[in-house]
Amino acid sequence: MIETNRIEFKLKYTEELDIEKEVISFLNYREGGIIYIGIDDNGHPIGVEDIDSVVLKIKDRIRTNVSPSPMGLFDVLIEKVDGVDVIKIFLASGTEKPYYKTKYGMSTRGCYIRVGTACEPMPTAMIEDLFAHRVRNSLRNIPSPRQKLTFRQLQIYYESKGMTLNNAFEQTLDLLTSTGQYNYVAFLLADENNVSIKVAKYSGTDRTDLISNNEYGYCSLLKATDLVIDKLNTENYVFSRKTEKYREDKPLWDKLAVREAVINAIVHNDYTNEVPPKFEIFANRLEITSYGTIPMGLTTDEFFSGVSIPRNKELMRVFRDVEMVEALGSGMPVILREYGHKAYEFMSHFIRLTITANMGNVHKNVHKNVHKNDPKNDPKNDLKNDPKNEVLKRREVIVNLIKTNNKSSYSDIARKLGVAPVTVKRELAEMRHIVQHVGPTRGGHWEFL
């Protein structure tokens, strides 16, 4: 490991270490960066004493001593390097430059910028130029179209992670404008709003034959995100093929990559023009389209390399708090690993991710002992080849399990059937004229019609 324009090493943490200066230099840098604590100048990991306590101190110092609010732009993590625990501070490039030490304001004593591998005071001319170009149409500064808002769903998500929102949570989560009104972030996270996220399904490979058009929204963006993910998981059929020696199960698309893509599209969507992201399922692909282009000043190569400039840092902070986002910049590598750069299309006002279905390559390794001319062994006929009596038996077991416990989850039923949860979701989707799920995904129950 070596120091670069995006990586800084610090041997140890002390109260005298000017960590704010290093953090500010990366927040103001166009690519952001990473600070490691517990690594010497030669890149050798030394470790950090009382590491959990140091992590808390660093988080508090960044929150308290850096302006504008950097919440949603940094992560402080514990990472193993060569078997040694060190601290990794991941910093995204901010959209409200210049960032500065709160006590010194926008001055050469308060503003810093990364120059090569060094942290330098920012010249007055640069401070003035950055301030003149500061993004002023952030969601935090746009008043909510409604001012009578409730946040019970938001509270439930925080409580599920062992956190409680106190009476000052509106200020803590940046849900207010400078004049004290609820802002558009609050509107998106409120129990009721007018934001509708659509999941459309077509029978073919174009938009001529619409099968269904589900709307998930008018509620907290956290809940809407979970609903969209659940819907796509239900549509993510698993194709199975059996031979004398082999069995292979493969879904239409990678579940983890799709989850990351859904969250990215929703968190980084440009809501300033009230255009939500949309999700479209075709016979051969899944398309995820979000409004907004690559952040200003970022190249496509930097976009793909994981350089993070969160468009909506307030939303990112909340999604990070409730662990729907693991870490800043963590989603892109997962998506690229499965689908590559070519899956992305950059348009004038939109970014589209096209996820090709796996149907054509479901069983590349199971044909060696199968007569290739037998139509029963054609992967396209896998679902058709499942004997009706086997399907009926499986559904009968599902019905009996639900009768025994109407709060059974997909995973509970899948374990007892010995199949994947997505298989259970598929079966129950086809049994919706018999049984339906009532209430939230977690905590709801099944009812027979």
Band (374; pLDDT cuts 50, 70, 90): very low
Residue 2: inside a domain, yes or no? no
Residue scoring higher pLDDT (241 or 53): 53
**Cα 313–2–335 angle (5° rounding)?**
45
DSSP string for residues in 125-184: HHHHHHHHT-----GGGSBPS-S----HHHHHHHHHTT----TTHHHHTT-B-TTS-BBH
Q: Phi then psi for 97, rounded to 5 degrees?
A: -60, 150
326 and 365 belong to one structural domain: yes
pLDDT digits (tens, 9 = 90+) for 409-440: 888 888 777 777 777 887 888 787 788 888 77
Give the pLDDT confidence score for residue 247 in this predicted structure: 59
Same domain? For 241 and 344 the reply is yes
Number of domains in the chain: 3
Tokens of 246: 């082999």
Confidence of residue 138 (pLDDT cuts 50, 70, 90): confident
Residue corresponding to tokens 């001529």: 208
Domain match, 154 and 126 both: no
H or E stretch covering 10: strand 7-10
Residues 395 and 323 in one domain: no
Tell me the C-alpha distance between 279 and 213, whole Å.
10
> Using CA of residue 317, residue 321, residue 322, residue 328, what is the dihedral sign?
positive
Asked whether the bond before 276 is cis by omega within 30 degrees of 0, the reply is no
Task: Give a yes or no: residue 407 inside a domain.
Answer: yes
In whole angstroms, give the CA distance from residue 356 to residue 380. Answer: 16
pLDDT value of position 53: 94
341 and 423 in a common domain: no
Whether residue 269 is found in the same domain as residue 191: yes
Distances (CA, A) of 220 to 25, 91, 157, 226: 34, 27, 10, 10
Residue closest to 416 by CA, chosen among 398, 433, 443: 398
Using alpha carbons only, give the angle 86, 88, 91 rounded to the nearest 5 degrees.
170
pLDDT at residue 243 is higher than 80:
no
Q: 235: which DSSP letter?
A: H
Q: What is the pLDDT of residue 241?
A: 57
Q: In terms of domains, do 163 and 233 share one?
A: yes
Contacts 24+ apart (CB under 8 A), 441-449: 441/226, 441/227, 441/230, 444/407, 445/406, 445/407, 446/402, 446/406, 446/407, 446/408, 447/406, 448/402
Summarised one tens digit per residue, pLDDT across range 280-289 is 999 899 999 9
pLDDT score of 172 more than 70: yes
Confidence (pLDDT) at 71? 86
**312-367 residue pLDDT tens:** 889 999 998 998 987 776 778 889 889 998 999 998 889 999 999 986 444 333 33
User: Is residue 141 in a domain?
Assistant: yes
Tell me the average pLDDT of the chain.
84
Cβ atoms of 311 and 295 closer than 8 Å: yes
Quote the pTM value: 0.62
166 phi and psi angles, rounded to 5 deg: -85, -175
Residues 409 and 367 in one domain: no
Q: Which domain holds residue 308?
A: 136-381
Do 323 and 392 lie in one domain? The reply is no
pLDDT > 60? residue 386:
no
Are residue 216 and residue 320 in the same domain, yes or no? yes
Extract the tokens encoding 419.
């199949």
Measured CA to CA, the distance from residue 287 to residue 355 in angstroms comes to 6
CA–CA distance, 358 with 133 (Å, rounded to integer) = 45
Does 100 lie in the same domain as 33?
Answer: yes
pLDDT digits (tens, 9 = 90+) for 151-162: 999 999 999 989
In a domain, 361, yes or no: yes
Residue 365's pLDDT is 36
Assign residue 164 the CATH number of its domain: 3.30.565.60
In this structure, are 205 and 272 located in the same domain?
A: yes
What tokens appear for 399 in the block?
């019905």
* Residue 333 covered by a domain: yes
